[in-house]
Chain A
Amino acid sequence: MSDIDDSEGVLHESLEHSLENVEADIYVDSEDVVGDIEKEKITTDVVKESEIVGYRQQPGKLPFSKPGSGGKNRFSKPTDYSRIPRSQGGSLEQPWGAHRHDDLISGQVIGKSTSLVDSNWKVTGQAKYGDDIRLPGEVIGRILRSPHHYARVLSIDISKALDLPGVLGIATGDDAPGKFGVLPVTKDEHAMAVEKVRHVGDLVACVAAIDEPTAREACRLIEVEYEVLDSIHDIKQGLEDSENPIHDRGKYHIGESNVQKRVFQQFGNISEMKDSSVASHDSDWTFTGVNHGFTEPHAVVAHWDPSGRLTLYTPQQVPHYLHRALADVLDIPMHQINVYRTFVGGGFGGKSDPFPHEMCAAILARKTGRPVRINFDREEVFWVNRGRHPSKISMSLHADSEGRLCGIETDALIDGGAFASFGHVTTYYNGVLHTAPYEIGAFHYTGARVWTNKPASGAMRGHGAVNSRCAVETGIDDLAEQLGVDPIDFRLANLLPPHSATITGFRVTSIGMRECLERVKEESGWDEKFRKMPLGKGIGIGCGFFISGSGLPIHWDPNKFPHATVHLKIDMDGGVTVHTGAADIGQGSDTVVAQSVAEVLGLPLDMIRVRSRESDTSPVDLGSYSSRVTFMNANAAISAAMEIRNELLEATSEITGSNIEGLVIGDRRIFNKRDPAVGVSYLEALHKAQEDRGALVSSGSYRTPPMGRAHKGAAAGLAPAYSFSAYVAEVDVDIETGQTKVEKVWAAHDCGKALNPLAVEGQIIGSCHMGMGQVLSEEMKYGRTGHLLNPDFLDYKIPTVHEMPEVTPIIVESNDPEGPFGAKEAGEGPLLPILPAVVNAVYDAIGVRVSELPITPDRLYKAIEKRCRSEGVKEPLDLEPPRLELTALQEILQSRAINHSRRDKERRLTDSPSPYHNGALFGLDPEIPGDEQDSRWAAVVIPPDDYLEDPGLAGSAWKHTERRHRSDVE
């Protein structure tokens, strides 16, 4: 032990020594160069004078001053050893084992709380969002929207509107008949109505005029003749055959119904597992639709320049897919379009589809020859929607006598609204994203997404996983209660280990679930509170699991192109320009990429500038969805920076004569590990490397490794890493009114490694806020005639600062082997656990299990009354809060959890652990996938006939036959 300490001590000393050198090196005044060289000679006397000076000078001329160090304050703070891993001579603890990026950690910025690199733009009001782009000569675009839920457009007469002075152009569906959609398999949107309008607010025409009143008036003057069709609002009705299905998918259409996508998945033998169970939970959930509620309404500016190129300024999360869709709809090649991402005022998935209004702006700008700006009202934002799917989920969970989770049966019917959007993926996610973090005995999922005449649902933070996760976690709470065990201990005894495969074949690398659970348990004082608090006060737990990037890019074969690419350029000034297409939507992706580059090159953050706005200059990035940016983009940035790093090391080795292996990068200095006095400044090395070639450029990219299984749908939910989280919520329910207040939340999230803890905490707290809204107050309400009743922030109730609980964010760092410096996502996963944590806490408080969100006072009070009636209690205040009698199983679970904890630790510390497949807990060989050992574990993706005799609600979608398989349709 003392040995190690000693050697560290030496290393520290020498590092410090080297820092002094840096100072000596940089405190140079131009008059004092000679003295300085002498100083250097003294401190670095191993190197000869001629080799020290990195600049070639004309003889007799005054020496150049050293460029680039400008300003009075030339030093960034000295290296902080607690940010450098032990393996590198620092003191950073690595309890999860070493990481392959450890030797790139220079202690500069990774892991430090860092303000966003663009924060000064934001706090001074200079950040330009969509509506802040003002081009000379701009005109205003307005959109005419459908007043009908579902109608055929018979004719559109624009003549009157065109005659209105000040109107410069009008476009209708005829101007752009091309279809688009975010997924190539389900392109079902048009820029404006072609043939039909499919929901109130669907686009019919658009107008460009000199100002907004004129544009509005012109919209009023457009005469549209509709033939109103029978609309569908009830999600169940979407399953049935219809005379006028909302879309026609040709031979792939499912029956004559409005089913857009259906999924059947079965792994393991569910009926056998059910038979062996001793506790079962069944619930039927209703989830209402939720909107993202980002503060910036959509806005777009389109401009065709004189060379015939389109520049589209838009707050987009996914500029690249928009780029593709624009090319399709406008019928021009992609290279003629420059998509410029403005600052994005919140996205959360709501700005990740290519949108029809973006097409409209481009079409109008082409028509009028002027820049066109379209800005939405808040109401229009609700019409565009793409929020979380309203859904009906039936959840059955089974546990056996050993306290194992032996079966999960899920049936999810989700309401897609009028368009497909990300729906294909959502339908899978509702099932597959709850196959972890627990080891399960059998999994059965049926899902269907139907079209209805509502604004389209789409991707929203926690895409597809949120609702069903809520159902699973509350179910587990119920199981634990039936078994007479603590729900946290129940979970701890059923976790998958690190480096394992889920029942559906997802590859789980790092997993910090256990630590998350242990931390929240301890910090919340769980043992003193759970089932022990008085009536009206409760505490509850919920967990989550989310993808960190999706394994498959939407638009291409992952084996052909990378998911993310980053370019770097360093010129004479020494500043690094990072070109990336990753869309910063406020989550801080620009900051993360800058941090990664700064870390690898040992530079302070202000020497890195990120250019991520324009498709003209940025390499393609898939965009900000599925929590992929930090993982993929930072990995790409690291590999680009490593290239430059190698060049710098080579140059240093040429100057100093030390060999490359012996060199390390510190704060703006490259030096010999053994003898830090031997080294050069960053600029010296850079200028040496630039000799004869000028600016250094490099490119790095990231692609996911091959993984997963081969059954249909195996790719949905496949990710290079997964994040885990566990929350404990404490609530106070006013039992006489049904009003729920969340008082405190302890939120532990395993993000692998917090590259910027400030931002990670911000994401955790922000997720709590958004999830709290869904569980307590937010709901898109549709009236009896199908109209959206609350398309504004007055009636759509987002929690204010007064409703926010005190959140204690707890960061768990499981050091993912493939993540950049060990990092995984932190943007979406943290939202999942808050819903079930609150629902479970409400149960703990008043003994009522809700199965409909949001838990508004009226809903909850009804449930309280129901409980009163069923127990024959007159006054709600006389109800008994639930209490827990532990059974013998509790101890069995606890000792299993202790064993598993040991197992997990061993597995994460070995470099290449043996495989572990879900099923080992049930007696299968962990090293062989379940289906290879026992044919009953094989994936089934087409429902067997006996299932169809009595299908679940969503499962009944399989009663239809796809048109291409039907004999009555050719």
Chain B
Amino acid sequence: MKEQNTQVVDCSGKYVVQYSLPMVPGPDKVRWNATVNGVNVDFFIDSNAILLDVLRDQGGSLGTKRGCDMGTCGCCSVMINGTPKLSCLVLAQEARSSSITTVEGLSSGHYLHPIQQTFAECGGSQCGFCTPGFLVVSAALLERNPSPTKAEIKTAIEGNLCRCTGYQQIVESISKASEILVSGKGIDDSTSSKSDPHPGFSGGLS
């Protein structure tokens, strides 16, 4: 099959390729806004952009990972209005005006979220690539249900893949975090030498 592509210059002086079949026409740019980790953002995005790409490439949330791009690994999980979603399967437009929390938004100021702390201390994170997804999903779980049973924890993380840990220490980490949340004890003093003075940035969206 021979294709005839024509090149034209658009009003901004940029080259645009107009494809003959089988390419679909390029996407339009549309304006998009949302609250990402508590910061209001307003971008121009491709009309067909996937939320994961917007978050990573424009939103500065490189903590949100791409493991498969087809909804099978859970690495890209983010909270949209408090509900965990696979951002690789969400059109950015669907999440317009929503409030999005990524892994970078879990810690508050200098305090790690208990779930972050216990993942570090109980071996919930080995290579760490799946960790952001697990953290988001389990933080959402604990928000809904601060003292989940083992079975509830397993159900919450069933869509997340971890190749390193075999999940056992992840489940333990989540139970531990729930203990901390319920008892209110065990959250580190931010001035003690163990706590990290820079536990997270808010998505680089300032």
Binding site for B on A (CB under 8 A): 71-74, 115-116, 118-129, 131-132, 134, 164-166, 213, 217, 292-297, 343-348, 375, 377-378, 585-588, 606, 758-759, 761-762, 765-770, 792-794, 798, 800-802, 804, 806-807
Closest to A801 in B: B167
Q: Is the CB of B70 within 8 A of A378?
A: yes
Closest to A292 in B: B163
| Complex Cα–Cα for A730 and B128 (A) | 30
Q: Is the CB of A131 within 8 A of B163?
A: no
Q: Is the CB of B69 within 8 A of A586?
A: no
Q: Within 8 Å of chain A (Cβ to Cβ): is B183?
A: no
Q: Is the CB of A606 within 8 A of B194?
A: yes
CB-CB < 8 A to A129: which residues of B? 65, 129
Interface bin, chain B = 35 or more
Q: Is the CB of B135 within 8 A of A123?
A: yes
Q: Is the CB of A378 within 8 A of B103?
A: no
| Complex Cα–Cα for A563 and B101 (A) | 45
**Binding stretch for chain A, among B89-97, B119-127, B141-149:** B119-127
Q: Within 8 Å of chain A (Cβ to Cβ): is B73?
A: yes
Q: Given A125-B63, A345-B129: A119 and B120 within 8 A (CB)?
A: yes
Closest to B129 in A: A345
Contacting B127 at CB < 8 Å: which of A294, A758, A765, A768? A294
| Complex Cα–Cα for A115 and B167 (A) | 16
Q: Is the CB of A800 within 8 A of B68?
A: no
CB-CB < 8 A to B158: which residues of A? 800-802
Q: Is the CB of A115 within 8 A of B121?
A: yes
Residue pairs across A and B with Cβ atoms less than 8 A apart, 9 shown, are: A116-B120, A119-B128, A123-B131, A124-B63, A293-B163, A766-B164, A792-B70, A793-B161, A801-B154
Closest to A114 in B: B121
What is the CB-to-nearest-CB distance from A937 to chain B, in angstroms, rounded to a whole number?
A: 42
Q: Is the CB of B123 within 8 A of A123?
A: no
Closest to B63 in A: A125
| Complex Cα–Cα for A71 and B193 (A) | 7
How would you classify the secondary structure of chain A's contact residues: helix, strand, loop or mixed? loop
CB-CB < 8 A to B131: which residues of A? 122-123, 125
Q: Within 8 Å of chain A (Cβ to Cβ): is B178?
A: no
CB-CB < 8 A to B192: which residues of A? 71-73
Q: Is the CB of A125 within 8 A of B119?
A: no
Q: Is the CB of A165 within 8 A of B73?
A: no
B35-64 CB mask vs A (1 if < 8 Å, else 0) is 000000000000000000000000001111
Most buried by B among A127, A131, A375: A127
What is the CB-to-nearest-CB distance from B101 to chain A, in angstroms, rounded to a whole number?
A: 11
Q: Within 8 Å of chain A (Cβ to Cβ): is B67?
A: yes
CB-CB < 8 A to A806: which residues of B? 168
Q: Within 8 Å of chain A (Cβ to Cβ): is B102?
A: yes
Q: Is the CB of B164 within 8 A of A120?
A: no
Q: Within 8 Å of chain A (Cβ to Cβ): is B157?
A: yes
CB-CB < 8 A to B201: which residues of A? 126
Q: Within 8 Å of chain A (Cβ to Cβ): is B196?
A: yes
What is the CB-to-nearest-CB distance from B200 to chain A, in angstroms, rounded to a whole number?
A: 4
What is the CB-to-nearest-CB distance from B67 to chain A, in angstroms, rounded to a whole number?
A: 5
Most buried by A among B16, B73, B119: B73
B3-42 CB mask vs A (1 if < 8 Å, else 0) is 0010100000001110100010010000000000000000
Most buried by A among B103, B119, B157, B163: B163
Q: Is the CB of A793 within 8 A of B73?
A: yes
| Complex Cα–Cα for A164 and B26 (A) | 14
| Complex Cα–Cα for A377 and B69 (A) | 8
Q: Is the CB of B169 within 8 A of A124?
A: no
| Complex Cα–Cα for A153 and B164 (A) | 40
CB-CB < 8 A to A770: which residues of B? 163, 166
Q: Given A73-B193, A296-B129: A346 and B164 within 8 A (CB)?
A: yes
| Complex Cα–Cα for A700 and B125 (A) | 30
Q: Is the CB of B64 within 8 A of A125?
A: yes
B186-202 CB mask vs A (1 if < 8 Å, else 0) is 00010111101001110
| Complex Cα–Cα for A586 and B163 (A) | 11
What is the CB-to-nearest-CB distance from B73 to chain A, in angstroms, rounded to a whole number?
A: 6
Closest to A757 in B: B123
Q: Is the CB of A294 within 8 A of B163?
A: yes
Q: Within 8 Å of chain A (Cβ to Cβ): is B107?
A: yes
Q: Is the CB of A792 within 8 A of B72?
A: yes
CB-CB < 8 A to A762: which residues of B? 123, 126, 164-166, 169
Contacting A124 at CB < 8 Å: which of B5, B7, B107, B191? B107
| Complex Cα–Cα for A586 and B130 (A) | 11
Beyond A123-B103, A801-B167, 12 additional contacts (C-beta under 8 Å) are: A120-B196, A124-B199, A125-B132, A164-B5, A217-B23, A295-B75, A296-B67, A345-B127, A378-B70, A587-B126, A762-B165, A769-B167
Q: Is the CB of A128 within 8 A of B120?
A: no
Q: Is the CB of A345 within 8 A of B169?
A: no
Closest to A122 in B: B128
Q: Given A73-B192, A119-B125, A586-B164: A295 and B130 within 8 A (CB)?
A: yes
CB-CB < 8 A to A213: which residues of B? 26
Contacting A792 at CB < 8 Å: which of B68, B132, B165, B171? B68
Closest to B27 in A: A213
What is the CB-to-nearest-CB distance from B3 to chain A, in angstroms, rounded to a whole number?
A: 8
Contacting B163 at CB < 8 Å: which of A123, A166, A798, A802? A798
CB-CB < 8 A to A765: which residues of B? 165-169
What is the CB-to-nearest-CB distance from A577 to chain B, in angstroms, rounded to a whole number?
A: 18
| Complex Cα–Cα for A769 and B126 (A) | 14
Contacting B167 at CB < 8 Å: which of A71, A295, A759, A804? A804
Q: Is the CB of B163 within 8 A of A125?
A: no
Q: Is the CB of B15 within 8 A of A165?
A: yes
Q: Within 8 Å of chain A (Cβ to Cβ): is B112?
A: yes
CB-CB < 8 A to B67: which residues of A? 295-297, 345, 378
Q: Is the CB of A804 within 8 A of B166?
A: yes
| Complex Cα–Cα for A345 and B68 (A) | 13
| Complex Cα–Cα for A945 and B123 (A) | 55
Q: Is the CB of A124 within 8 A of B103?
A: yes
B93-122 CB mask vs A (1 if < 8 Å, else 0) is 000000000111011000010001101111
CB-CB < 8 A to B161: which residues of A? 293, 295, 793, 798, 800
Closest to B103 in A: A125
What is the CB-to-nearest-CB distance from B157 to chain A, in angstroms, rounded to a whole number?
A: 6
Q: Within 8 Å of chain A (Cβ to Cβ): is B85?
A: no
Q: Is the CB of A346 within 8 A of B129?
A: yes
